[in-house]
Amino acid sequence: MRIEDLISMAADARKNAYVPYSDFRVGAALLMDDGSVYTGCNVENASYGATNCAERTAIFKAVSEGHRKISAICIVGSKEGSFAFPCGICRQVISEFSDENTKIIVAKNEENYIVRSVAELLPDAFTPNDL
Ligand code: THU
């Protein structure tokens, strides 16, 4: 799967964002290690803290279908001209289902994106190995 295809899927998923409070649309697309693909969008709530980010929507869909390891995750936000990096909670959840080869792709569009590792976004992470 090309990075550009994953970006395009994340941008498509963003169309379903439920964002009546922030009007900030986010889409995510995951490529799992077995080749399966999952997408997600942010889903807000009148009780703001109940909001689910796009990354976690996609990850929980994949994990609930039995998939465990993320090869690549792509995130596309909606503010013109800026990248939407994952929030702290999403970094922790990404870390749970990633390894040192997982690519985190933060994209403005198919031509403009940044690729990071989990260690770069969440150094000294608390992991299952710490329990
Ligand atoms: N949001 C995401 O979907 N992913 C992130 O990593 C950052 C924030 C959403 C949550 C909320 O619906 C909106 O962006 C504004 O915070």
Structure tokens at 126: 């608390």
55 is catalytic: yes
Q: pLDDT tens digits for the chain (131 residues)? A: 899 999 999 999 999 999 999 999 999 999 999 999 999 999 999 999 999 999 999 999 999 999 999 999 999 998 878 999 999 999 999 999 999 999 999 999 999 999 999 999 999 999 999 99
Pocket of ligand 1 (CB under 6 A): 19, 22, 24, 26, 42, 44, 51, 53-55, 86-87, 90
Nearest to 73 by CA among 52, 89, 91: 91
Distance 18 CA to ligand 1 centre (A): 11
At the topology level of CATH, where does 3-130 sit? Cytidine Deaminase; domain 2 (3.40.140)
Distance 128 CA to ligand 1 centre (A): 25
Nearest to 70 by CA among 85, 91, 49: 91
Q: How far apart are CA 52 and CA 115, in angstroms?
A: 23
Asked whether 18 and 24 are in contact (CB, 8 A), the reply is: no
Polymer length in residues for the chain: 131
Structure tokens at 106: 């933060």
